[in-house]
Each structure stands twice: as structure tokens, then as C-alpha cells.
Amino acid sequence: MTKGDEVKRLGENDSAYIPAGEKHRLANPGKVPAFVIEVQTGTSFDEDDIVRYEDIYGRVPPE
């Protein structure tokens, strides 16, 4: 997991808190599939405030 400038390896049953506005990325360098549960908190759960800097899945329209 990359959060800001910090890179941290998460293991089974680990968790991470990512504050609103914090640039972050999740990757799985291992061979065993990773399963992620994302829990949002706050008063709004809209995703219209997401800024994608890089997207290997094609969700960012080309400029």
C-alpha cells in the first residue's frame, strides 16, 4: 500500500486508515489473490470527488 510518500506491506487481517484527500494506491505483489474490504465513513458516500492520477483499468478518459 502506498499512502502519500509512505510504502507499507500489509498482511492478512491488517488495516489502513486513509484520510480524505490522501493520495493512495493498493497493489498485490504476491502470488496469492488479495481480497479488500473498503469501508467509507463520513456524511457523503458519493464518488464524484475521486481524482485518478493513474489508472491501468481504463477508468480515466484519455486527455
Cell of 19: 484520510
pLDDT of residue 62: 58
Q: Which residues are CB-contacts of 18 (< 8 A; sequence separation ≥ 6)?
A: 3, 24
Determine the distance from the C-alpha atom of residue 17 to the mean position of all C-alpha atoms in its chain, rounded to a whole number: 10
The pLDDT tens digits of the residues spanning 6-60 come to 999 998 899 999 988 899 999 998 899 999 999 988 887 887 778 888 888 887 6
User: How many domains does the structure of the chain reveal?
Assistant: 1
Contacts 24+ apart (CB under 8 A), 27-32: 27/1, 27/2
Residue 27 lies in domain: 1-63
